[in-house]
Structure 1
Amino acid sequence: MKLIAVINILVISVSMNDAFRAYNETEVDLNDERAMGGYIKNVIADFSQSIKEAGFDPLYIERQEYIYQLPVPVIFKSVFLMEQLSSNGVSNIVVNSVNYSLLTSRLSFDIELPLIDMGVGTGSVETTVFGRNFTMNSSGKVAVQRMRFVGQIRFVVNIIPKISISARSSDIDFTMDGIESDVKLVVQNEDYSDKMNEFLSMTVPATFKEYRSEINELLEILSIEYINNYLRAQQMN
C-alpha cells in the first residue's frame, strides 16, 4: 500500500510543480495546454530516470544482515538475513495520458506500472526469546501486474505576485490486474508455501477489490496532503 501511495503522489506532485516552474522560467505561452501536458510528461520521464540513477530500479542486494539483541541475548535476539534480493519495474512508469486544463485548473492523468518483479534468493529470520528459538526461511518471486492510476487533481492557481499552486481536491481510481506468487516459506520446519502463495495471489487482490472505494479515498486524502506540503516547500525556495 505504501508503495502505491508513494508512486501515485510523488509522480503527480513533482510533475505539477516542475511543470509550472518550467513555464515561469521560460517564454512558453501559459495558454498552451498541449505544451503544459508535454512538460508534465517530460518531468515524469525525468523522475523515472532518477529512480534508475539512484539504483532503485533495477535493485539488487547481494547480501544484507540485520541483528538486534538486548544486552542479555538469551532474553531476546533476532537475526534477519537477505541474499540476492532483487526488484525490477518500479521506474517503468507508462503515461497513457496526462492533460492539464488551464480553464478548470485540473490535471487529468492515466498512469500505470505494467509489471513489478520482486524476488529473494534466501531470506531467513532466527529469533531467540527467553531461550526459545524461532526460525523462518523463505525464497522465491512475486510479480505485481499492471497497477493503474486514473483520476484528476484540481488545483487553485495564483498568478500574483508570482505563480503558485495548491491542490484543492482529487479523484483517484486505482486498479491492479493481479499478483503472481511463487514463494517458498518454512516456519519452524512447517511448510507454509501453498498458503502464502494463495494469500498473495488470491486473498490480497480480492481484498483490494473489496475495499477499492476505501483505498481510493485514502489515496485521495494522502495525495492532497502530500502535494500541498511538497508544493509549499518548493515555493518557499
Structure 2
Amino acid sequence: MKFFIAFAVLIAGISAVPHHDAHSIDFSDERVVAEAIEEAIEGVSQSIRDAGLDPFHIKREDFSYALPVPELFKLDAYIDEVLSTGLSNIKINRLYYSSLFTRLQFDLEMPLIHFSLGGAKSDVVLFNHDLGVSASGSVDVERIRVVGEIDLYIGIITGVTVQKVDISFTLNDIKSDANLVIFGEDYSDDFNNYVGGVVPDTIKAHYNEINELFEIVITDILKENL
C-alpha cells in the first residue's frame, strides 16, 4: 500500500517538487519535464527515509501487563530485531517525455522490499490457561514494477489536461520463510503458503482491476495538480 501511495504521488510530481511550479514548466522542453519528475521520485524516496521507514528497525521491545489477579490475565512478550528495507528504493528503468506528442512514458520498479523478524514471543495466562505465541523469519516482496504512458493535451486557453493514462502493474513474487507457533501448534507452512502463494496469486489474478485503480487515482491527482 505504501508503494501505491508513493507512486501516485510521484506521478503528480511535476507540480509537487519544491523547485518547480506546474504552470511555469515549459512542456516543450523535454529535459525540464524529465528532470522535474526525477526530482519528484527522489523527493518521495527521501520522504520515506526521513520518516524512518527505510530502513525501519526495532532492536528489541519488551511488554508486560497483568491484572491485580494475574491468574485471570497476565502478558509477557517481546519482539526482537524487526527490520524492513527497500521501501525507498524506486528505480527508474526508463523515463521519457515527448514534447511532440505530449506523452510521458515511464518504467519504474522497486526491486526488493524485505521484512524480517529475529524473534517474537508472547506468554499469556488467561483464566489459568497458558497461551503462547512465537514467531520469526522473513518475507521478501520481489520486483514491484509499474510501466505506463500518460498522454497530455496542452491548450492555449485550457492549459495542461490529461487525455489518457495507461498503467501496467506487475509483481514478480513474494517469498515467505517464517516460523509461527500458536498455542503449541505449528502454523509455519500455512502462513508461508498463504503469504508466498495465495497473496501473490490473488494479486496477479486481479492485474486488470489494480491497473484500472491506478489509472483512476493518477488521473484524478493529475487533474488536481496540473
Q: Report the TM-score, using the length of structure 1 for normalisation.
A: 0.74
Between the two proteins, the alignment pairs up a number of residues equal to: 226
Q: Percent identity?
A: 35
Q: Residue deviations 1:22-53, cap 9 Å, x none?
A: 26697x75411133112211331233233223
Aligned positions of 1:52-131 closer than 5 A: 52-64=49-61, 81-124=78-121
Q: Out of 49, 58, 75, which is 2:46 matched to? A: 49
User: Are the counterparts in 1 of residues 60 and 79 from structure 2 also a CA contact under 8 Å?
Assistant: yes
User: What amino acid is the match of 2:185?
Assistant: E
Q: Post-superposition shift, 1:96?
A: 1.0
Tell me the SS of whatever aligns to 1:22.
coil
Larger Rg: 2
Mapped partners of 2:72, 2:197: distance in 1: 38
Alpha-carbon distance, 1:88 to partner:
0.8
CA contact (8 A) 1:19 1:36 kept: no
Q: Give the 3-state SS of the residue equivalent to 2:20 in structure 1.
A: helix
Q: 2:173: which partner in 1?
A: 178
8 Å contact kept, 2:14–2:22: no
Task: Indicate the RMSD between aligned Cα atoms, in angstroms.
Answer: 3.8
Query: Which of 210, 213, 217 is the aligned partner of 1:215?
Result: 210
Evaluate the alpha carbon distance shift between residue 16 and residue 65 of structure 1 in structure 2; reply closer, same or farther with a 3 A threshold: farther
Q: Could you say which residue in structure 2 is the equivalent of 1:146?
A: 143
Aligned match of 1:17: 15
Match for 2:136: what amino acid? Answer: S
SS in structure 1 of the partner of residue 147 of structure 2: strand
Cα distance in 2 for partners of 1:69, 1:8 equals 44
SS in 1 for 2:87: coil
Structure 2 unmatched runs, 5+: none
